[in-house]
Amino acid sequence: MQSFCHSSNLKSALAQVRVEGKTVGFVPTMGNLHDAHLALVQLAQTHCDVVVTSIFVNRLQFGLNEDWDKYPRTLQQDSEKLRSIGCDYLFCPEDQEMYPNGMDEQTRVIVPSMSDILCGASRPGHFEGVTTVVTKLFGLVQPDAAVFGTKDYQQLAIITRMVEDLCMPVKIIRGDIVRENDGLAMSSRNTFITAEERPRANQLNRSLNWAAEQIREGKREYSEVEATAKMQIEKAGFKPDYFVVCDGQSLAPAVHDTENVVVLGAMYTQGARLIDNVVV
């Protein structure tokens, strides 16, 4: 695996790859890689000839009170993990490389209707930071396909919409959620769950599965399902952020005849905010 901090070196390497007629797959990450990230890289390998993984803890998508400083940086271990599964290129730029004019001066990309709801409501500016950095990374890597995990369902839906709206020549591939044995979705933020909370931390997933089952059985009073699920989460000792039955593409609240239904949830533990979803 070749590693690059500077985009000019990455671009030269990828120019050669393209001369050879090979396709480029891309997996953007913020590092602290676990099995779910590695599964995304492996999925990219099944679609493309070479795979680039990026590691960049993007300050632009963190709010003022969020954990940019605390975000675990484990470049050495991440690099070994990527090498062990045969990733071809690692791109790990510094802030100066990604935001040479400073973050305040950075041109932004915004997907308006989908960015201020759900996670965007409790994390103002977050998705603007994501879509801006992903656009820049796409510009630098120019991938044929890019893989995003379904755990971050809203992020995936927003990026899919952005690619469509801006006619970006990138195929978006969805990676399945990878879960711990008890159903907890793998996430870098799981390291912030306390030992006392951990046995109950799968409650979000349990409530999502319960809600999906209700809907599959024909229940269409979605607000009742949402309210009961929130009570389940509270009873388990957590604070629900949101729990909603949505249209899987637009993320608008599902109505009686919505065909593509997804249930999305977020809850606070003492040290982390966890998100998860179930497609019905």
Residue 216 Cβ, how far from ligand PAF at the closest point, in Å?
A: 29
Please give the DSSP secondary-structure letter assigned to residue 5: S
Distance of alpha carbon 21 from alpha carbon 54, whole angstroms: 22
Nearer to ligand PAF, 61 or 205 (CB): 61
Stretch that binds ligand PAF, among 23-31, 68-76, 227-235, 254-262 (CB under 6 A): 23-31
Which two structure tokens, joined as six digits, stand for 12?
């030269």
Residue 256 annotated as catalytic: no
Distance set, CA 85 to CA 30, 38, 43, 44, 170 (Å): 18, 8, 11, 12, 24
Amino acid at 224: E
Smallest gap from residue 106 Cβ to ligand PAF (A) = 13
Shorter beta-carbon distance to ligand PAF: residue 28 or 240: 28
Residues 138-177 that bind ligand PAF (CB under 6 A): 152, 155
Q: Which residues have C-beta within 8 Å of that of residue 128, sequence separation ≥ 6?
A: 60, 61, 108, 109, 110, 115
Minimum CB distance to ligand PAF, residue 217 (Å): 33
Please state, in angstroms and as integers, the Cα–Cα distance from residue 269 to each residue in 15, 200, 211, following that order.
46, 10, 21
Shortest Å distance, C-beta 53 to ligand PAF: 10
Q: Sign (positive/negative) of CA torsion 250, 104, 135, 176?
A: negative
If the CB atoms of residues 37 and 206 are measured against ligand PAF, the closer one turns out to be: 37
The structure tokens listed for 95 are 């802030």
- Residue 30 binds ligand PAF (CB under 6 A): yes
Binding mask 83-122 for ligand PAF (x = CB under 6 A): ----------------------------------------
Say which residue the tokens 């249930």 belong to. Answer: 263
**At CA 64, angle to CA 63 and CA 68, rounded to 5?**
70
CA distance 199 to 121: 28
Stretch binding ligand PAF (CB under 6 A), from 8-16, 26-34, 74-82, 86-94:
26-34
Q: Is the Cα dihedral 7, 63, 66, 101 positive or negative?
A: positive
What pairs with residue 172 in β-bridges?
Answer: 146
> Interface mask (CB under 6 A) for ligand PAF, residues 44-73, using x and -?
--------------x--x------------
Number of residues interacting with ligand PAF: please give it, by CB under 6 A. 10
Dist. CA 26–CA 139, nearest whole Å? 12
Q: Given 6, 37, 47, 126, which residue is catalytic?
A: 37
- Toward ligand PAF, which CB reaches closer, 135 or 207? 135
* Residues within window 120-139 making contact with ligand PAF, judged by CB under 6 A: 130, 133-134
Binding residues for ligand PAF, per CB under 6 A?
A: 28-30, 58, 61, 130, 133-134, 152, 155
Residues classed as catalytic: 37
